Amino acid sequence: MEGKKVIIASPHDARNLGIETVYQDLALFSVLDVQTNLFMGREIRKKFGILNKNLMRKETVKILAKLKIKVKSINQQVRSLSGGQQHAIAIGRAVYVGNTPRIVLMDEPTAGLGVEESNKLLDLILELKSKGISVILISHNLDHVFTVADRAVVLRSGRLMGERRIRDTNRNEIIKMMLGVI
C-alpha cells in the first residue's frame, strides 16, 4: 500500500488498511434485520461496552438515504429485501460503517440482479469512484466493466492474460484475452 509491502493476515488487518470486501454471496444474515446486518462486527458502543442502539438506528437511516434504498422498516429481516437492496446493504456495510475505505473489492456484485437493480449498483460504484474510493470489480459482464472501469485486468486459470486501459481497448480484445487467444 502506497509503495510499502504489507501483510494482511485477517479481515481486521485489511480493514485497518482501508480495504473492504463485498462478497459474491454478500455475507449477510438473512434472518437478522437491516440495522444488525449493517453493523455486524462493527457495533457502536457507549461506555462499558453497551451498544448504542439509538446512534446505530440514526446511522442506519442515514446510510439507507445515501444508498437511495427504501425499506419498509430498518427492523425488517434482510431476506425480505430484493436482491438489489441486499447488495446495497452489503455495500453500505463496507463503505459507510466505520472508517471510509480506500479500496473496495467487489466480487460479481451484479450477479443475479435484474437490469434496473444492476444499473443502480453500477451508479453506486461510479459514486464511490467519484469520492476517490478505488473499486476493484470482479465481473464477467463486460458491459458493466466498460461502464465503470478505468482499467481491465484479465486472469485465466490464475494467470495474468493482460491489462488494458478501458479507453485503449474494446470488448473483442478483452474477450480474446479471456479465451487465451492473446
pLDDT of residue 87: 87
Supply the range of the domain harboring residue 113.
11-149
Looking at the domain assignment, is residue 78 inside a domain? yes
Looking at the domain assignment, is residue 157 inside a domain? no
CATH number at residue 81: 3.40.50.300
Helices (H), 30-114: 34-39, 53-67, 83-96
Of 27, 35, 32, the C-alpha closest to 59 is 35
Over the Cα atoms of the chain, what is R_g?
A: 18
Q: How far apart are CA 39 and CA 123, in angstroms?
A: 23
Which CA distances in Å does 36 have to 33, 72, 151, 159? Answer: 5, 15, 35, 39
Q: How far apart are CA 144 and CA 78, in angstroms?
A: 26
Q: How far apart are CA 33 and CA 17, in angstroms?
A: 28
Looking at the domain assignment, is residue 36 inside a domain? yes
Looking at the domain assignment, is residue 54 inside a domain? yes
pLDDT of residue 123: 92
Looking at the domain assignment, is residue 52 inside a domain? yes
Q: How far apart are CA 152 and CA 165, in angstroms?
A: 6
Looking at the domain assignment, is residue 33 inside a domain? yes
Looking at the domain assignment, is residue 30 inside a domain? yes
pLDDT of residue 55: 95
Q: Looking at residue 49, what DSSP letter applies? A: G
pLDDT of residue 72: 92
pLDDT of residue 1: 87
Domain count, the chain: 1
Residue range 20-54, pLDDT digits in tens: 999 888 889 999 999 999 999 889 999 999 999 99
Torsion of CA 44, 122, 141, 162, to 10 degrees: -80
pLDDT of residue 149: 98
Q: What would the 3-class secondary structure string for 102-117 be?
A: CEEEEECCCCCCCHHH
Contact present, 152 and 166 (Cβ < 8 Å): yes
Mean pLDDT per 10-residue section of the chain, whose length is 182 residues: 92 91 90 95 92 95 86 94 89 83 93 87 91 94 97 95 97 96 86
pTM: 0.84
Looking at the domain assignment, is residue 86 inside a domain? yes
